């Protein structure tokens, strides 16, 4: 095992954001915390007491004055001894403290290693650990609240409740298998079918909630496409509430994708304004058009902007034929202020037409509502937890296994195997069954000091 991966090391990192600030925090975790603290501040601090003192370099010279706090294991974030030094937030000062800690035997923490140690020491489960990163990266107030709910363990409690019901049912069925010659219908006697149906209903409900939590976390990716001068940039500016994109009457003004993050009812919306799709020999504009197609293939919803006066032309028809089948396509008839059309949504078969004016704002609220509807968003109030794609995949696998168990109700051995699969997939959410590769992937995306 390499030194970097040794969980018995004492690790150190700056726990606050980079750049200058009033306060910066250096955090250590591991068995040598008190030893290092004694050499930096000159004494062993009492647990959970904030002490104003001087921080000394390893040669005894002064680094800074600040607050020292010691958290004795297991009553700390990581479950290990933790020592925090709160100094002035200049990068040079914090780097000097880091350098001193390294000299005294600590090593640099890997990304997410503090939270990983908290997970390995059973302070939090894997879903809560992921929620730490989600709280930090939340782009809206609603997303932050949902991430905090997951961090508090609400999502994990729901998973644990399902696991308890699942294990109880599995134990009953496997116990029945030990009495194959008994002339008793254990499946009917134990109401197995009814219990499977109840369990499946609960998992399906949780699956729908997780989908909503995933929308809050990932946001909705919307791309604005169309011919030049149909009002893509004007629509982006109106949605964003500021002049992000340059708007002119000159075709080809937008030559590169412009990305911005806005929110509808607290849902993060990642909007990409793209170069107008048309035939051109301009190499710069051609590159912009190439990037437009890349944006289309990575988005959830495509708003095909067109001039309401001109309607859908052959060019738009050609464009739509090249779209991926997985993307939701919405025809947006812009400039209704010039055609005296009324703002509305017209659903004709599989085609969606929204009539707006990016100049006056007419119909924009209708467009926003439809974007949320098309994404599958349903408000769950303040009790919505944050969820990741892997959580949704695991819950989907549980739903499928329970459905299979219902179909094979006459074969207790097969039902028991399906329930075992259910237990495994639920366990991957909280980390009961998790590979080292998955842990590495999850925590590698954390910031260094967390």
Q: Mind listing the pLDDT tens digit of every residue in the chain (450 residues)?
A: 333 457 789 999 999 988 788 899 999 999 999 999 999 999 999 999 999 999 999 888 999 999 999 999 999 999 999 999 999 988 899 999 999 999 999 999 999 999 999 999 999 999 999 999 899 888 888 889 999 999 999 999 999 999 999 988 888 888 777 655 554 455 565 578 888 999 999 999 999 999 999 999 989 999 888 888 888 888 888 888 766 544 444 444 444 567 888 888 889 999 888 765 555 555 555 566 667 777 777 788 999 999 999 888 888 787 788 788 888 999 999 999 999 899 999 988 888 999 999 999 999 999 999 999 999 898 766 678 989 999 999 999 999 999 999 998 888 889 889 999 999 999 999 988 766 776 777 787 777 777
Q: What is the CATH number of domain 3-124?
A: 3.30.1360.120
Q: What is the pLDDT of residue 276?
A: 56
The pLDDT assigned to 367 comes to 94
In the numeric block, the tokens 């019901």 are attached to 165
Note the pLDDT of residue 316. 79
Architecture of domain 131-216+388-431: Up-down Bundle (1.20)
Q: Of all helices (H) and strands (E), which one includes residue 320?
A: helix 314-321
pLDDT score for 183: 47
pLDDT of residue 289: 65
Q: Which two tokens stand for residue 129?
A: 């650990």
CATH of domain 219-375: 3.40.50.300
Q: Where in the chain is the domain with CATH 3.40.50.300?
A: 219-375
pLDDT value of residue 178: 65
CA distances from 428 to 275, 314, 422, 440 (A): 43, 50, 10, 14
CA 369, 374, 378, 384 dihedral sign is: negative
Give pLDDT, residue 278.
Answer: 52
Residue 318's pLDDT is 79
User: Please, where in the chain does CATH 1.20.120.430 lie?
Assistant: 131-216+388-431
| CATH 3.30.1360.120 residue window(s) in the chain | 3-124
Neighbours of 332 (CB within 10 A): 26
């Amino acid at each position: 095992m390499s030194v970097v991966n040794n969980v018995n090391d004492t690790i150190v990192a700056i726990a606050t954001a980079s750049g200058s600030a009033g306060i910066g925090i250096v955090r250590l975790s591991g068995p040598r915390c008190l030893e290092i603290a004694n050499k930096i501040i000159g004494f062993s601090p009492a647990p959970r007491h904030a002490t104003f003192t001087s921080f000394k370099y390893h040669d005894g010279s002064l680094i800074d004055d600040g607050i020292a706090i010691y958290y004795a294991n297991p009553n700390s974030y990581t479950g290990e001894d933790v020592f925090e030094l709160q100094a002035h937030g200049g990068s040079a000062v914090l780097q000097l403290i880091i350098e001193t800690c390294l000299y005294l035997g600590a090593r640099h923490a890997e990304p997410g290693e503090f939270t990983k140690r908290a997970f390995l020491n059973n302070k939090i489960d894997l879903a809560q650990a992921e929620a730490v990163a989600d709280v930090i990266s939340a782009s809206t107030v609603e997303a932050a609240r949902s991430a905090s709910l997951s961090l508090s363990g609400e999502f994990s409690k729901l998973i644990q409740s399902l696991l308890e019901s699942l294990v109880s049912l599995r134990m009953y069925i496997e116990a029945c298998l030990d009495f194959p010659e008994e002339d008793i219908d254990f499946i009917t006697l134990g109401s197995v079918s009814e219990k499977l149906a109840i369990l499946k209903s609960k998992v399906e409900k949780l699956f729908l909630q997780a989908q909503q939590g995933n929308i809050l976390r990932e946001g909705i990716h919307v791309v604005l496409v169309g011919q030049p001068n149909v009002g893509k940039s004007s629509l982006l500016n109106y949605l964003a509430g500021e002049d992000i994109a340059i708007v002119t009457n000159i075709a080809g003004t937008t030559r590169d994708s412009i990305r911005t993050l806005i929110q509808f009812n607290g849902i993060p919306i990642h909007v990409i304004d793209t170069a107008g799709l048309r035939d051109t020999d301009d190499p710069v504009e051609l590159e912009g058009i190439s990037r437009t197609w890349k944006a289309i293939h990575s988005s959830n919803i495509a708003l095909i902007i067109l001039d309401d006066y001109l309607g859908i032309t052959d060019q738009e028809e050609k464009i739509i034929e090249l779209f991926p089948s997985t993307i939701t396509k919405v025809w947006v008839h812009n400039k209704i202020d010039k055609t005296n059309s009324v703002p509305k949504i017209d659903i004709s078969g599989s085609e969606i037409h929204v009539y707006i004016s990016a100049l006056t704002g007419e119909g924009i609220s209708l467009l926003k509502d439809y974007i949320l509807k098309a994404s599958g968003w349903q408000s769950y109030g303040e009790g919505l937890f944050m969820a990741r794609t892997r959580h949704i995949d695991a819950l989907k696998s549980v739903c499928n296994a329970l459905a299979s168990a219902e179909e094979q109700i006459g074969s207790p051995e097969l039902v028991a195997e399906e329930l075992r699969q259910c237990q495994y997939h639920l366990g991957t959410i909280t980390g009961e069954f998790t590979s080292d590769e998955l842990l590495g992937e999850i925590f590698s995306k954390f910031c260094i000091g967390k």
